[in-house]
A and B are shown apart, each in its own frame.
Chain A
């Protein structure tokens, strides 16, 4: 069964550094998402992406964050200047259609640790 793949599985970075988290969504899916889960807390929506543009974003997704689909297969999340509070598990997801119409398929996540 096709799956969403995320790399790396674990990323350690120093505060203030830029990080790029990478995802390869399922190939025929049209909607892409990033969620994050701070240790012990709920899974939080960051951003959704459709037709090469952001369709919705949360208050968490400020100017430090950006997303890109550079080549038609990868979907990346960039954090320009990481803060300690950015430490979390970041999940990429994709769906064929909007989430009320088709299920989200999640990757296994990238654990980001900011020191």
Chain B
């Protein structure tokens, strides 16, 4: 059974600092791994999707890496801004989607 863990559960950083969010999964038989952000009480916004054959994906200030052998994915957010404050979820797609518990990020001005 796939288990997805995100550490830390919460993170607070000053504006401008780089963010590093970790996601680990127990079953490496995944099709892809996707990162989302969720704002309080709202739905999920897709940030990056990494196919199982890929090692990383980049979009603007965001970069996500995938290491299937170690069961890890890392989301990097460069030069954080207060608008980056949200909960970030990683989702492993195997036979079904398995969600991590999320990392709640607060970027202080």
Q: Do A and B come from the same complex? A: no
